[in-house]
Amino acid sequence: MALLALSAGLPAGCRVSARSADVTVSGQGSSGAAQRAGTVGTAGSACALPVTFGIATGWAAKPVDGLAAVASHGVDGDTMDGLLRQGPVTLVCELDARPAGVVGFLRVWTGKPGSGDARAVLRAFVAAEDGTGRAAYRSFTSGGLSGVRVDYVRTSELLGGSAKESALAVVTRHGPVVLHLGGLDSAEHDEMLPAFELAQDTLRSR
């Protein structure tokens, strides 16, 4: 179960062809339904990041180091490295929705400076995920940051069907940052979407 929770929404090493729509829309996320309970990304928060953003009520943030215990369940180093990397970025923090009553995660990935602009980073991130399709990209601005968001569908044999997913990317002086929202199904994705849009709307560079 720990490996299933970790692997949901993570790369499987190959890509099924995707049909993408590239739309440019200036502005922030549309939903204000999620109540803000704090901030993630500052030096004193659960995860120190190149950016800060608001965390929704009931969600719990923890650094990815907290997932190292999965290795004790028989996961080898190469498999673990594959789970913690996707395209040009590495998983560094996750926000767990289970305390709020939903099964899913908002995960934060970071990369090295020079990995590309936000659109290139996000396209590479999606391309590295197995079974993606119907990807719609659009630009946004938040707190002086210019970024790109994508909403798409992922088909997974492991999860037994298709589910909506969302991700966004921005580039900071410390390198790119990707926020990715995944759940076990589309209904749970929709329940978690206000928390993702809260993070998008409150995104700031440190």
Q: What is the pLDDT of residues 50-73, one digit of tens each?
A: 999 999 999 999 998 745 545 544
> With 60 as the cut, is the pLDDT of residue 29 above it?
no
Which tokens belong to 72?
């004790």
Q: Compute the residue count for the chain.
A: 206
CATH of domain 2-205: 3.40.1000.10
Greatest Cα-to-Cα distance within the chain, rounded to the nearest angstrom: 46
Q: pTM for this structure?
A: 0.79
Counting residues of the chain whose pLDDT is more than 70, the rounded percentage is 75
What residues pair up with 39 in beta bridges, in sequence order?
54
The three-state secondary structure class of 186 is: helix
Q: Which pLDDT score is estimated for 203?
A: 96
Q: What is the pLDDT of residues 126-172, one digit of tens each?
A: 999 888 898 999 999 998 899 999 999 988 777 678 889 999 999 99
> With 50 as the cut, is the pLDDT of residue 78 above it?
yes
